[in-house]
Amino acid sequence: MPAYLKLIISALVAGTGGAAYYAGIEAREGALLLAAAMIVAIWLFPEAGGEKDPQR
């Protein structure tokens, strides 16, 4: 996944998590933690590419 897509997705997730925090929902800390975990996962784990056959 290109870095610019990761940046866009991270910004959207951070904005949604921040909006949930400031909106005052009951699980606002959980929403903020989930948003942070999603951002870390986007940058830390590569996307699944499947098995590549070296014979082809």
Cα-based torsion angle of the residue sequence 3, 8, 14, 20 in order, rounded to the nearest 10 degrees: -150
pLDDT at 54: 64
pTM tops 0.85, yes or no: no
3 CB-side CA count, 13 A: 0
Alpha-carbon dihedral sign for residues 6, 11, 14, 16: negative
Q: Which has the higher per-residue pLDDT, 54 or 15?
A: 15
Q: Which has the higher per-residue pLDDT, 11 or 2?
A: 11
pLDDT digit string (tens) for 12-53? 999 998 898 888 888 888 888 999 999 999 989 877 766 666
Q: So where are the chain's domains?
A: 3-44
